[in-house]
Amino acid sequence: MGGIIVKRLLGLLLLPGFVGLLVASAPERASADFCLQFSGASCDLSGDLGFFRFKGKLPKKVKKLAALHGRACGVGPAYGSAIVNTEGTAVEIGATFFCDGEQGQISASFTPGSRIGDTSSPTYASYGIHGIASSCTATIVDCDLEP
């Protein structure tokens, strides 16, 4: 009888630790991420190469600077910054990324408070051997669309 009580007590003591382990190992929610898709007929970036995921949110307050950390082309690092201009009329985004060992840059401007589906045109991008920035359209997209 004493063995049954010990097993039950032990089970009750271990259960919170097990539940805590499950909660700690749950995948991180990506709701605070924002994603951009660059495209266009004369754009160096399109499809998988034009998709960017960044952690956090775009700033909304004048002169507010946000560091951008994310990824491009699935696994390539992307980093840069976003700032609301002094007039409060635009969020300027600039980032450098690496895909397949090649470096690239993106630049876009959105109105503060932009949401999924809002576009910025013209935007500029360059990648690899392309030395001159190409004209693109950047769209804020749902991160679930990541290729």
Q: How far apart are CA 44 and CA 104, in angstroms?
A: 10
The CB density around residue 77, as the number of other CB atoms within 10 Å, is: 13
With CA atoms as reference, report the closest residue to 84 among 66, 69, 107. Answer: 66
Between 132 and 6, whose confidence is greater?
132
For residue 9, give Cα distances in angstroms to 1, 17, 19, 21: 13, 14, 16, 19
CA atoms within 13 A on the CB side of 129: 0
Q: Token pair for residue 141?
A: 């997209």
Per residue in 44-55, pLDDT tens? Answer: 888 888 999 999
H/E segment holding residue 5: helix 2-24
Per residue in 74-126, pLDDT tens? Answer: 889 999 999 999 999 999 999 999 998 889 999 999 988 889 999 986 788 88
Q: Token pair for residue 63?
A: 């002169």
